[in-house]
């Protein structure tokens, strides 16, 4: 009888703890390659490209991400540090970059990020850098 009671209590304990244990968030670690980009520069110049030269590399620790955004400006390849956090519902990643830009990246599936970017940061005045843009990134397989 005691064995049966302990067994039933054990089952209830396992079932009761299951919902309390949070699953780890989707892992965004890897290389994310730009597929498309559309936007405007501070100067009013529009951007519209399907070049795949630009990419991100991300690493993740729990709900926090960090990495580097690699992109070409008019003269060279720029490497800009980024850091952010994944929302509790695991559908959005909020990211900032070292020049004051803000990314809101919607996770549409395990291999696609749809990114809205706004930058009116420190490089706006000095290099006409400010952007408002939309881009799609795909994870490299």
CATH of domain 24-139: 2.40.128.20
> Which tens digit of pLDDT belongs to each residue from 75-129?
888 899 999 999 999 999 999 998 888 999 999 999 999 999 887 766 666 656 6
Distances 48 to 7, 93, 101, 105, 141 between C-alpha atoms, Å:
63, 23, 19, 19, 25
Question: Cβ neighbours of residue 56 under 8 Å, at least 6 residues apart?
Answer: 31, 32, 67, 68, 69, 70, 82, 137
Per-residue confidence (pLDDT) for residue 67, from 0 to 100: 98
Question: Cβ neighbours of residue 134 under 8 Å, at least 6 residues apart?
Answer: 37, 38, 39, 114, 115, 116, 117
Per-residue confidence (pLDDT) for residue 79, from 0 to 100: 94
Per-residue confidence (pLDDT) for residue 121, from 0 to 100: 63
Which residues, in sequence order, are bridge partners of residue 55?
Answer: 33, 70
- Tokens read off for 77: 């390849």
CA within 13 Å, CB half, 75? 2
Dist. CA 44–CA 135, nearest whole Å: 18
Q: Which of 123, 79, 126 is nearest to 101 (CA)?
A: 123
Rounded mean pLDDT, 15-33: 70
- The domain segmentation of the chain, as residue ranges, is 24-139
Rounded mean pLDDT, 11-21: 44
């Amino acid at each position: 009888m005691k064995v049966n009671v302990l067994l039933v209590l054990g089952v209830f304990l396992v079932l009761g703890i299951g919902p309390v244990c949070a699953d780890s968030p989707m892992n965004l670690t890897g290389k994310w390659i730009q597929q498309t980009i559309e936007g405007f520069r501070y100067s009013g110049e529009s951007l519209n490209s399907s070049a795949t030269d630009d990419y991100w590399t991300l690493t993740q620790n729990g709900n926090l991400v960090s990495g580097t955004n690699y992109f070409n400006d008019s003269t060279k390849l720029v490497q800009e540090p980024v850091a952010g956090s994944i929302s509790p519902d695991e559908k959005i990643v909020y990211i900032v970059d070292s020049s004051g830009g803000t990314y809101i990246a919607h996770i549409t599936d395990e291999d696609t990020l749809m990114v809205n970017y706004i930058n009116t940061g420190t490089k706006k005045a000095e290099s006409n850098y400010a952007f408002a843009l939309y881009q799609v990134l795909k994870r490299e397989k």
